[in-house]
Amino acid sequence: MNESKILTRIRVNGELHAHWVEPRQHLVDYLRDEIGLKGTRVGCEHGVCGACTVMLDGEIARGCLVLAVQADGHEVQTIEGVSDAGAIADLQQAFVARNAAQCGACTPGMLLTAHALLRHEPNAGRAEIREQISGNYCRCTGYHAIVDAIVLARDQRLRGGGAHE
């Protein structure tokens, strides 16, 4: 142990992880480097692009703006955790069906953002969906396909044919 490091215990995707971390290590780097979860992307490192989106205690957070030590004692869910649990299977299928996942750089953050939106606003309209995903950059799709995919998943859920969490 280095004297400058701090013991941090974070429950990630239901599993408790304890690591000595530098006080300035960002949560996204902790997830990728200490735990090996590479699904959360590193983008702008300024909280603007949404590539590093995770769920912190059930709410959307930017992994590049949260220090690992700030997540000590908290629950973090990554794209791996929600996808492995099946919580976003319908969203993933809708993204494929509507060609909303092209290069894949924004997809994990978009899926987590859409997941949180549909949990909080199950009847969200296109304008609300656009507003919610506006913090996630996508350079490939122009957003139309992403909005269409979220609408498809929303409609399936409202008919009782999709994931609810």
Query: Over the stretch 46-92, which tens digit does the pLDDT of each residue have?
Result: 999 999 999 999 999 999 999 999 999 999 999 999 998 889 999 99
Q: How many CA atoms lie within 13 A of 153 on its CB side?
A: 31
Helices of type H across 9-121: 27-29, 79-84, 89-97, 107-120
| Residue pair 66/52 in contact by the 8 Å Cβ criterion | no
128-147: average pLDDT: 93
Q: Which of the four CATH numbers 1.20.1250.20, 3.40.250.10, 1.10.150.120, 3.30.70.600 does domain 88-158 have?
A: 1.10.150.120
**pTM score over 0.85:** yes
| Predicted confidence (pLDDT) per residue in 78-132, tens digit | 999 999 888 999 999 999 999 998 888 999 999 999 999 999 999 999 999 999 9
| Residue pair 113/150 in contact by the 8 Å Cβ criterion | no
